[in-house]
A and B are shown apart, each in its own frame.
Chain A
Amino acid sequence: MNKKILSAVVGIAAVAGMGASAASAATLDDVKAKGFVQCGVSTGLAGFSAPNDAGDWSGIDVDLCRGIAAAVFGDATAVKFSPLSAKERFTALQSGEIDVLSRNTTWTMSRDTQLGLNFAGVNYYDGQGFMVRKSLGVNSALQLSGASVCVQTGTTTELNLTDYFKANDMTYNPVVFEKLEEVNAAYDANRCDVYTTDQSGLYSIRLGLSAPDEHMVLPEVISKEPLGPVVRQGDDQWFNIVKWVHNAMLNAEEMGITSANVDEMANSTDPNVMRLLGKEGTFGEGIGLGNDWAYNVIKEVGNYGEVFEANVGASTPLGIARGVNALWSKGGLQYAPPLR
């Protein structure tokens, strides 16, 4: 509670006092001056952004931040992470407390246009789902009328939930918490019958429950949840950097460049590969970075496919299939503009 007021007050103070420097000055210069990227992440969502027992963060949202650090400094470890609740995240970005928000955040029009923020792409296409106890004998979300539903406040989830039950003429009893861990604990304690959030989140949360096998995710996906990194509006250079780090990781996968073979591929004569790895053209200059920016991202972090497989893919406990997150050339939605 105090922390929230504090961050809001800090936000107000920052906006009031040094808004000019926070909003329009070059984030890249600030980042270079302090020597690291300050990245806003979740308070712990396995596969997306979660600390391990040694305090090291991992996840696909985390790897995007590492990619940005690799592009700027050539060093993927030059990142500091700020765990943020859903409620705190936008204020933290607006106030300049963090440089980029990479925290499974849904891209919506109002967030893009009214908060002074810009979404720099989609690094995970998600959709909202429901998790229930198998013992309830429910196999469709349409049977959930009258249920108590656990949900996290300050999310698009809360609104989609309302819309879905309304559209299907069902009632429910919302049980709302601010922190993800509180929602998890309440659901685990059977305070509610249903847990709703993005499906990827449900799979991740299920692993942390006391008896994961007793729970199932219902098949319905009730919303579009394009999750992506967010930056402050008004700093196009930094916006471009974040956007193109993501694009570079996608293009690298498309070209078959991985962290393992990037050095070998650097000798390629394919002009596409040469442009991406900085052997041809001056694409790095266009975003204020060295020409080897994309090489560093791939070398230190890997391409999109590698990051996906390492964090949420079939070999991980989450076991999420690529599905709509496959490259466009493989039937998915991930499509990056060309480097040209």
Chain B
Amino acid sequence: MAHQTGVSADADDAGRVSLMNDPKARGLVFQALLIIAVIFLVYSGVSNAIDNLARAGIASGLGFFGERAGFDIGQSFIPYTNDSTYLRAFFVGLLNTMVVAIIGIFLATVIGFIVGLARLSKNYLVQKFATVYVETLRNIPLLLQLLFWYKAVLSILPSPRAVGLEPGVEVVFNLNNRGLYMPRIVPEGGAQFILFAFIIAVVAWFFIGRWAKKRQMATGQQFPVFLTGLALVIALPLLTFLVTGMPMSLEYASLQGFNMVGGWVIQPEFMALLLGLSLYTASFIAEIVRAGILAVSHGQSEAAFALGLRPNLTSRLVVVPQAMRVIIPPLTSQFLNLTKNSSLAVAIGYPDLVSIFGGTVLNQTGQAVEVISITMLVYLTLSLLTSAFMNWFNSSVALVER
């Protein structure tokens, strides 16, 4: 103690010593120098690149975004023709990436949770099956899995002509090497009411949940929120559908000329990418889920049983909430990985952002620096948004510790 007092006495004297020897001031100076060096490095890199592009006679700038793209894209969620601009082509690619990422994240999470729970199952077969699933899929490179789904599974399906379809005859479901064909729902006048009914049902579900919780707090009585909600969500739109006079029709696919026409099609490239991404990522999520559940001490569930909670309630009210705080942070990383891995789409011809924008647009305009920078920026933005959302979600489900 005596020694430490001596040191702090020295520090008090430091106020009169020159700034050179003040560790705080020195630290600030070095940090400022570092920032200046980094800024200078970035500045000189960028200005050098601009100078050299100009000197090499390579066009630069973002003017190309307004030009006519002039190429077609196989799958688009927004209206796009070859007369659209490069900017629109960019959005087509971005949407294709986001759609596959969002559906992929959803599927991967569902499969991951199921497999993760199955690995903890007491059923020998289920548990072994889940183990084999995890150990196989997470140990094979994703690119190979994508190629497997695309080339070894979907490409060897027969062509529409070879599956024995008669030209012009409508089919309900058909899987061939051009895709999975299903009936398409064509909304007619009044169909928007069905959507409204659905939204009302969801909102009602939410408020019933809040009311039930309040009532349980006050009286201890429980209410079957889930079943009521589910019934509402199904029954209300269905009722509207009948009342408004069934304002929807189904459009079926049929073979016409070379290809299937009409209906709703999921292209094989999309299927392969979605399968590959979600099954691969699910194997990691399964391990995260298993780790999260095992991290909850056994005493917790024993205590819950001792209080008389049934196994179902024990896991829903005691185990899962505590497991979630272990699960969510690494789960975020898996979501980010899935989004970024979707860029492997280029290997199997799915028109994602990298394929359309970083591929075709880059090549037609030749502006590699701009196109690659923007592509990187887009993935960065997507990842940061995902993380921000997951952080918000994490803090909203986190246990309040005292």
Contact = CB atoms under 8 A, between A and B. Distances in A.
Interface of A: 1, 4-5, 8-9, 11-12, 15-17, 19-20, 22-24, 86-87, 90-91, 94, 110-111, 113-116, 136, 144-148, 153-155, 158-159, 161-163, 166, 172-178, 182, 185-186, 189-191, 193, 232-234
A4 to B, nearest CB: 8
Contact of B58 (A115, A144, A163, A193): A115
B151 A185 contact: yes
A148 B344 CA distance: 23
A90 B70 CA distance: 20
22 contacts: A1-B343, A9-B372, A91-B368, A94-B58, A110-B366, A115-B366, A116-B53, A116-B58, A147-B257, A147-B258, A153-B359, A155-B363, A159-B71, A172-B72, A175-B269, A176-B351, A178-B347, A178-B359, A186-B155, A190-B177, A191-B177, A233-B56
Contacts of A114: 57-59, 365-366
B372 A12 contact: yes
Contacts of B349: 175-178, 182, 186
Given A1-B346, A5-B372, A162 B48 contact: no
Contacts of A20: 52, 55
A175 to B, nearest CB: 6
Contacts of B55: 19-20, 23-24, 234
Interface of B: 45-46, 48-49, 51-53, 55-59, 70-74, 82, 143, 151, 155-156, 158-159, 162, 177-178, 256-259, 261, 268-269, 343-344, 346-347, 349, 351, 354-355, 358-360, 362-366, 368-369, 372
Contacts of A24: 55
A62 B82 CA distance: 35
Given A11-B368, A87-B359, A145-B257, A1 B71 contact: no
Contact of A178 (B45, B343, B355, B364): B355
A153 B362 CA distance: 10
Contact of A162 (B70, B159, B358, B363): B70
A191 B268 contact: yes
A191 B153 CA distance: 13
Contacts of B363: 86-87, 90, 153-155
A94 B359 contact: no
A219 to B, nearest CB: 19
Contacts of A16: 45-46, 48-49, 52
B52 A154 contact: no
Given A8-B372, A148-B258, A162 B72 contact: yes
A136 B82 CA distance: 27
A176 B267 CA distance: 13
Contacts of B366: 90, 110-111, 114-115
Contacts of A182: 347, 349
Contact of B347 (A1, A17, A116, A159): A1
B82 A166 contact: yes
Given A158-B360, A178-B347, 9 more contacts: A19-B49, A19-B52, A19-B56, A87-B362, A154-B359, A155-B363, A182-B347, A186-B155, A189-B155
Given A162-B71, A176-B355, A233-B57, A146 B368 contact: no
A68 B66 CA distance: 41
Contacts of B162: 190
A189 B57 contact: no
B49 A15 contact: yes
A317 B166 CA distance: 38
Given A23-B55, A147-B257, A178 B48 contact: no
Contacts of B261: 146
Return the 5 tightest CB-CB contacts between A and B, nearest first.
Answer: A19-B52, A154-B363, A116-B56, A16-B49, A116-B58
Q: Identify which of A162, A186, A191, A193 gathers the most chain B CB atoms within 10 Å of its CB.
A: A191
A2 to B, nearest CB: 9
A87 B347 CA distance: 13
B368 A154 contact: no
Contacts of B259: 146-148, 173, 193
A174 B178 contact: no
A145 B257 CA distance: 8
Nearest to A193: B258
A19 B72 contact: no
A191 B159 CA distance: 7
B180 to A, nearest CB: 14
A204 to B, nearest CB: 21
Given A1-B354, A94-B58, A147-B258, A174 B73 contact: yes
Q: Identify which of A145, A155, A158 gathers the most chain B CB atoms within 10 Å of its CB.
A: A158
A19 B369 CA distance: 13
Nearest to A114: B59
A163 B347 contact: no
A175 B156 CA distance: 16
Nearest to A144: B258
A171 to B, nearest CB: 9
A159 B364 contact: yes
Contacts of B158: 190
Contacts of B51: 19
A163 B268 CA distance: 26
Contacts of A19: 48-49, 51-53, 55-56
Contacts of A111: 366
Contacts of A110: 366
B52 A146 contact: no
A116 B365 CA distance: 12
Nearest to A15: B52
B346 A178 contact: yes
Contacts of A174: 71-74
B151 A148 contact: no
B159 A190 contact: yes
A19 B52 CA distance: 6
A114 to B, nearest CB: 4
B368 A8 contact: yes
A5 B344 CA distance: 12
A146 B351 CA distance: 19
Q: Identify which of A9, A24, A114 gathers the most chain B CB atoms within 10 Å of its CB.
A: A114
Nearest to A111: B366
B189 to A, nearest CB: 28
Contact of A153 (B45, B58, B343, B360): B360
A155 B365 CA distance: 11
Contacts of A172: 72
B40 to A, nearest CB: 14
Given A147-B258, A186-B155, A15 B369 contact: yes
Contacts of A190: 158-159, 162, 177
